Amino acid sequence: MMRKSVPPKVPHPSKCASLADLQAALGDFLSPAKLLENPKPPTECATATGEKKILEKIFPHGLPTGELIECLYRGSGCSTLALCLARTASRDGRAIAVIDPSSQFYPHPAVALGIEPQQLVIVRPARGAEEMWALDHAIRCRGLAAVLWRGERLALRHLRRLQLACEKYDTLGILLRPQKIARQLTAARTRLRVEAIDAIQRTSAAPQRKTRNLSLFFRHRLRVERLRGAHLAAGNGIELEIDYESGTFRQAAPLPLAS
């Protein structure tokens, strides 16, 4: 009996080669990132430990790397949270891609949050078919840790394909979509509601207190609640505070009662 030959396994392309292939595929749409060959390990300071505890409350089994997450937002701040999640996913040295057809993304906030400039890949395709094509290619690139996209219209078949691609290529896909599409079906493994909360107490405070409370203007409060997925208990939510001065987020303290 003749033995059936088994074809040799084809090794996965390296991270650098994957980014080069993405550059070749997307061409002028893409501003390539330089991959960190020897990324610096995250500093285990009190701030980093606090962020880790917050992530454990949102994702008890750890931040998923090969998964599609939908963040249904209301108000501002959701993109900052998405960048924080992408920053955590990219600590293995892989890059972060932002699909930006409207040319509204600027890297300065990402750098302020601690993301290295050379880790950012900005893709600016045209709206429509080219946008979906670029999103699909980016998620399938092994040199990318996370891919961010903000938009509204996305067919269910596209969501299914993106979820499967995230699982296969170990990419964290983060979709920022308005809350008004909450009734639409989704194939994303996780769907979160992210709402902005006004953290600045509007009272007739004395003028001498303004300087002391100035740092509040550099902070933003968000309430994160699970709508789909097994990471948060049903109906459970958590309030986060993003500090733009230090580029970190923490669990928010209760707001003071208005006098």
Question: How far, rounded to the nearest angstrom, does the alpha carbon of residue 141 sit from its chain's CA centroid?
Answer: 16
CA angle 82/88/89 to nearest 5° reads 90
pLDDT of amino acid 47 = 46
Question: How far, rounded to the nearest angstrom, does the alpha carbon of residue 146 sit from its chain's CA centroid?
Answer: 7
Of 1-5, 65-69, 85-89, where does mean pLDDT reach its minimum? 1-5
Closest by Cα among 247, 256, 257, 254 to 51: 247
pLDDT of amino acid 104 = 86
* Both tokens assigned to 190: 């996780």
Question: What's the CATH code, domain 15-34+46-199+208-251?
Answer: 3.40.50.300
Closest by Cα among 153, 94, 86, 145 to 114: 86
pLDDT of amino acid 26 = 67
Section 159-172 average pLDDT: 93
pLDDT of amino acid 46 = 41
pLDDT interval class at 214 (50, 70, 90) = very low
* Per-residue b or e along 171-207, where b marks 16 or more CB atoms closer than 10 Å to that residue's CB: bbbbbbbeeeeeeeebbbbbbbbbbeeebeeeeeeee
Which of helix, strand or coil describes residue 105? coil
pLDDT of amino acid 174 = 95
| pLDDT over threshold 50, residue 8 | no
CA angle 199/203/207 to nearest 5° reads 105
pLDDT of amino acid 183 = 84
| Whole-number average pLDDT of the chain | 75
Question: Could you report the per-residue pLDDT of 239-258, keeping only the tens digit for each?
Answer: 887 776 666 777 776 655 55
The residue among 198 and 251 whose pLDDT is bigger is: 251
- Write down the pTM of the prediction: 0.74
One-character DSSP codes across 150-208: E-S---HHHHHHHHHHHHHHT-EEEEEEEGGGTTS----SEEEEEEEE--S--S---GG
The answer to whether 176 touches 83, Cβ cutoff 8 Å, is no
Give the phi and the psi of residue 54 in degrees, each rounded to 5. Answer: -65, -45
The residue among 65 and 44 whose pLDDT is bigger is: 65
Section 14-20 average pLDDT: 69
Neighbours of 253 (CB within 10 A): 10
Domain boundaries, the chain: 15-34+46-199+208-251
